[in-house]
Amino acid sequence: MAACKSIVDYEDVLKTRSALPRGFRAGSVALTFHPRELPGDKLYRMNLSLIELSDGKGVAAGVFTRNAFPGAPVLLCRERIDGPSIRGILVNNKVANVCAPGGFDDACRITESLAAAAGGKSEEWLYASTGVIGWKLPVPEIDASLPTLIKSLQAESALPAARGIMTTDRFPKIRSVPAGEATVLGIAKGAGMIEPNMATMLAFIMTDADLSREELSRALGEVVEDSFNAVSVDGDQSTSDMCILLSSRRSPAPAYGDFVEALRQVCTGLARDIVRNGEGTSHVIEVAVSGARCREEARGFAKAVVNSPLVKTAIYGNDPNIGRLVSSLGDYAGNNGIPLDGKALSIRLGGELIFSGGEFRISPELETRLSSYLEKKSFSPELKGYPEHDETVLIEIDLQSGTGSSRVWGSDLSYEYIRENAEYRS
């Protein structure tokens, strides 16, 4: 993506990506409510978004959080995802519906109301929620908003839904890739609590490719590991994470491999957008590990670096404190019983060799170049509305112990991250 200099620039980019695949409609509306768990009478805003398969004959596949306290919508979707037909998915922000009294029954009642208003059976509708954990859904307010939500549905653009599912996100995220005569389009939200073990936050992918549920499930399983599972913002796996792949089956299916590649591009693009959109993020960190004994070991080393608070804060400050990279690698190896040959290890930052032969390669000139490199890759953590660029801080690590490799993306750690999370419910 070319650098965006304004919200208008980014809106133009999104317009080129937002055309819905055949057989889909999407819409979004806002409502206000007062959380019953809070004192006073302050009203909060909630968005309701709906993705509908217009003829009600769609199929779906999904991957979900492995958090031991999954939200009620996750439980509902797990039950319904393999049904004979799926009509669509309803999404609310602001309230996660996790461990709230009667939360599962509330989600079921809302889908019953949706089915009565939009058609089909309750079990043909999926539901997703994101927001504050512990709050109860405002069921009367949601039910009252459903007729207006249904009237908002249109078949042209995914942008209203992409905006509607946002919480602390700084900009909407849409990716679209052709797959033969079909299209693969995805929208996502996510800014904090991102350390997925299957997907990340909320991602909804739409296609008109005529593929079976089994093919969709297999394809999704093939791509999430190197896309959504390869990102981290703050190391917290949410209770509400899910990635849903919906197909209207309205267009001829491409070759399976071509579909998987299109899906991979969409998921990887959304995953990187989520990191760039992370709460308080001012650098996107890309860690590429090679030479591990296996892929899983490479992934572990990469995430040890990208999740290190000391590495994150150094990069936020444009400080090439490269000792923190070696420390994080050694810590992970030692705590997991992994042999690590320091003399064989090499590390590059921004293409510059900074460690090899068991020794740092530091000089005043290198320090200056690395500081400048980090500064050029930064963007304002307070910027709202659009991403300034697609640049990353590249850290390359060669363990020289085998052929395993992995690449992950993460964010730095800024003052703005602390402020946003301290003020999240206010």
Active site residue 16: no
Of 59, 267, 75, 303, nearest in space to 175 by CA: 267
Sheet holding 44-53, edge to edge: 24-33, 44-53, 88-92, 125-129
The C-alpha atoms of residue 287 and residue 86 are separated, in whole angstroms, by 38
Please name every residue paired with 179 in a beta bridge, in sequence order, or none if there are none.
182
The C-alpha atoms of residue 244 and residue 46 are separated, in whole angstroms, by 21
Sequence-separated (6 or more) residues with CB below 8 Å from residue 334: none
93 is in an annotated binding site: no
Catalytic choice (200, 239, 268, 281): 200
Three-state DSSP string of 114-133: HHHHHCCCHHHEEEEECCEC
197 is in an annotated binding site: no
279 is in an annotated binding site: yes
Of 47, 204, 51, nearest in space to 138 by CA: 47
Q: Residue 300: which H helix or E strand, with range? A: helix 295-306
CA count, 13 A, side-chain hemisphere, 387: 26
| SS3 state at 148 | helix
CA count, 13 A, side-chain hemisphere, 179: 32
421 is in an annotated binding site: yes
373: exposed, middle or buried (Cβ count in 10 Å: 0-12, 13-18, 19+): middle
The count of other CB atoms within 10 Å of the CB of residue 140 is 9
| SS3 state at 409 | strand
Of 322, 327, 342, nearest in space to 400 by CA: 342
Structural contact between residues 87 and 118, judged by C-beta atoms closer than 8 angstroms: yes
Phi and psi, residue 206, nearest 5°: -120, 140
375 is in an annotated binding site: no
Token pair in block for residue 130: 């994101």
Of 250, 62, 80, 31, nearest in space to 155 by CA: 250
Token pair in block for residue 120: 């089909």
Residue with tokens 């964010």: 411
Residues annotated in the binding site for substrate, as ranges?
Answer: 167, 189, 200, 279, 421, 426
Active site residues: 200
